[in-house]
Amino acid sequence: MNLSSAIILGIVQGLTELFPVSSSAHLVILQSFLPDFKQPGVAFDAMLHLGTLFAVVFYFRVDLLNMLKALAPQKNKILNISRDNDPATLRKIFLFLVIGTIPAALLGLLFQDDLHKVFESARAAAFFLIITGFLLYFSDKVTDARRDEKDMNITDGILIGLAQAMALLPGISRSGATITMGIFRKINRPAAARFSFLLSLPAVFGAVLLESGYLKEISYQEAWLYFAGFLCAALAGFLSLKLFFLIIRRARLKFFAYYCWILGTITILVKSDFF
């Protein structure tokens, strides 16, 4: 692996992890076209995911701090935030985040080896990317999604958690699956996106921990390349979050759907030796 590959993959990860177009699919597909790219296990992928995790934590730092204060036994003053959430709502959302994390955690532990095999196939990633496109396209057809965080219930937490578990497959966008499930549950788009990204924190952190054994195999000569990828993923991730919340308010997920269909179809054709 060289510096240009590390930078490109980091930027792609930062953009696609937080846009609903599946970072895993992009990494699998792009890495298949980089003959010089090699990594021990999925060590580089883990570093890139750590970068986007950092971006999400920084972007939602006020929300996370408010949630921690709401969970504390002493009475803390909640910081002023736009949604005017009270401590009871924050504690409820925290519970739903815990519930929503369980399905992905169980499936990730039970089928870790099988998932690694799927991640080696660019065609499989492209196929699931096309499915993500359909989820995004039909979510834009929902016009009566008006529920907010205050209106969420345990069923929402379970179903969105199951959607996140399905995103363990490369090509099924984690943010795309969870946000569209929220929209199908009539949760308004910004609220669905906020819950989705907060839900990603324990899932991504758990995945990085699960793959942390590979990080020990990184050579000292290449360690700086891994840091460069981490930094690019973090910066691109933060910028993409800002842009995404401007886009989703206008119900324009169908444009991401078109992108998923085009990229998925082209990849299947190229990798099938049709050209």
Q: What would the pLDDT profile of 218-227 be if each residue is shown by its tens digit?
A: 777 778 888 9
What's the one-letter identity of residue 156? D
Could you give the CA distance from residue 177 to residue 184 in angstroms, rounded to a whole number? 10
Q: What is the pLDDT of residue 182?
A: 95
Residue keyed to tokens 């984690």:
174
| The two structure tokens encoding residue 22 | 């599946």
Could you give the CA distance from residue 241 to residue 236 in angstroms, rounded to a whole number? 9
pLDDT tens for 159-175 read 999 999 988 888 888 89
**What are the CB-based long-range contacts (under 8 Å, 24+) for 111-119?**
111/168, 112/210, 115/168, 115/169, 116/41, 116/42, 118/169, 118/170, 119/24, 119/28, 119/42, 119/170
| The two structure tokens encoding residue 149 | 């965080």
Q: What is the pLDDT of residue 226?
A: 83
Residues in the chain: 275
Q: Which pTM does this prediction carry?
A: 0.82
- 226 conformational bin, left if phi > 0, alpha if psi -120 to 50, beta if neither: alpha
Q: What is the dihedral of CA 54, 55, 60, 65, to 10 degrees?
A: 20
Could you give the CA distance from residue 253 to residue 268 in angstroms, rounded to a whole number? 23
- For residue 187, the cross-strand partners are 147
Q: What is the pLDDT of residue 154?
A: 94
| 152 HSE (CA, 13 A, CB side) | 33
If we measure between CA atoms, which residue out of 18, 22, 8 comes closest to residue 52? Answer: 18
Cβ-Cβ contacts under 8 Å for 207 (sequence gap 6 or more): 46, 49, 108
Please list the ranges in the chain whose pLDDT falls under 50: 80-82, 274-275
Q: What is the pLDDT of residue 251?
A: 66
Q: Work out whether the CA dihedral 34, 55, 182, 186 comes out positive or negative.
A: negative
